[in-house]
Amino acid sequence: MPAMIGETVPDIELPATGDKTVKLSDFRGQRLVLYFYPKASTPGCTQEGLDFTAAAADFAALNTAILGASRDGIKAQENFKAKQGFGFDLLSDKEETLCRAFDVIKLKKMYGKESLGVERSTFLIDEAGVLRREWRGVKVKGHVDEVLQAVRDLG
């Protein structure tokens, strides 16, 4: 059953950059922006990560952590984070546990071929671990500003 707005998100544990293991419950007491992207080190995913990094201090001032997640292995995530200087951790979800819990694995068409991939999506989770907002089929331009405004709107 995918995470639904108004419900507590599942407490999934995954490997993260910085040689860590992260559980969603680790962020209780603060807000969490969890964003999913299709593939590390691709142009759109790089820009989205840079946009979140540029706004990281604004999110932190609102007691809000940021996590990025994709199906990439932890080595690819470490390289992506280091090369781009992202100011937050990236999660490796090779088994698609988190992706499936948030229902972001979708059938995609590229060059006439269909395959299952991660739909660019963002989720805003409150201090109690309750899902408050979701954005699906995200377009990168202007997205981080919209998420930041939603965090401010939570009060």
Report the CATH number that the domain containing residue 22 is assigned in CATH.
3.40.30.10
Residue 30 belongs to a domain: yes
How far is residue 136 from each of residues 12, 19, 36, measured CA to CA in Å? 20, 29, 10
Distance CA 116, CA 128 (A): 32
State phi, psi for 144 to the nearest 5 degrees: -60, -40
**What torsion, rounded to 10 degrees, do the Cα atoms 154, 12, 7, 137 define?**
70
Query: What pLDDT, on a 0 to 100 scale, did the predictor assign at position 104?
Result: 96
Instruction: Find the domain containing 28 and state its range.
Output: 13-153
Residue ranges in the chain assigned as alpha helix (H): 43-54, 56-61, 74-84, 97-101, 143-153
Query: What pLDDT, on a 0 to 100 scale, did the predictor assign at position 109?
Result: 81
Task: Determine the distance from the C-alpha atom of residue 16 to the mean position of all C-alpha atoms in its chain, rounded to a whole number.
Answer: 12
Residue 67 belongs to a domain: yes
pTM, to two decimals: 0.95
Residue 3 belongs to a domain: no
Query: What pLDDT, on a 0 to 100 scale, did the predictor assign at position 15?
Result: 98
Query: What pLDDT, on a 0 to 100 scale, did the predictor assign at position 96?
Result: 96
Q: Per the structure block, which two tokens stand in for 112?
A: 């006439």
Domain count of the fold of the chain: 1
Q: In what order do the strands lie in the sheet with 20-23?
A: 20-23, 13-16, 89-92, 64-70, 31-36, 121-125, 131-136
Residue 87 belongs to a domain: yes
Show which residues are catalytic: 45
Q: What is the pLDDT along the chain (155 residues), one digit of tens a residue?
A: 778 999 999 999 999 999 999 999 999 999 999 999 999 999 999 999 999 999 999 999 999 999 999 999 999 999 999 999 999 999 999 999 999 999 999 988 878 888 888 999 999 999 999 999 999 999 999 999 999 999 999 97
Residue 6 belongs to a domain: no
- Which residues is 66 bridged to in the sheet? 33
Residue 44 belongs to a domain: yes
Distance CA 74, CA 94 (A): 9
Residue 2 belongs to a domain: no
Q: Per the structure block, which two tokens stand in for 154?
A: 């939570």
Residue 4 belongs to a domain: no
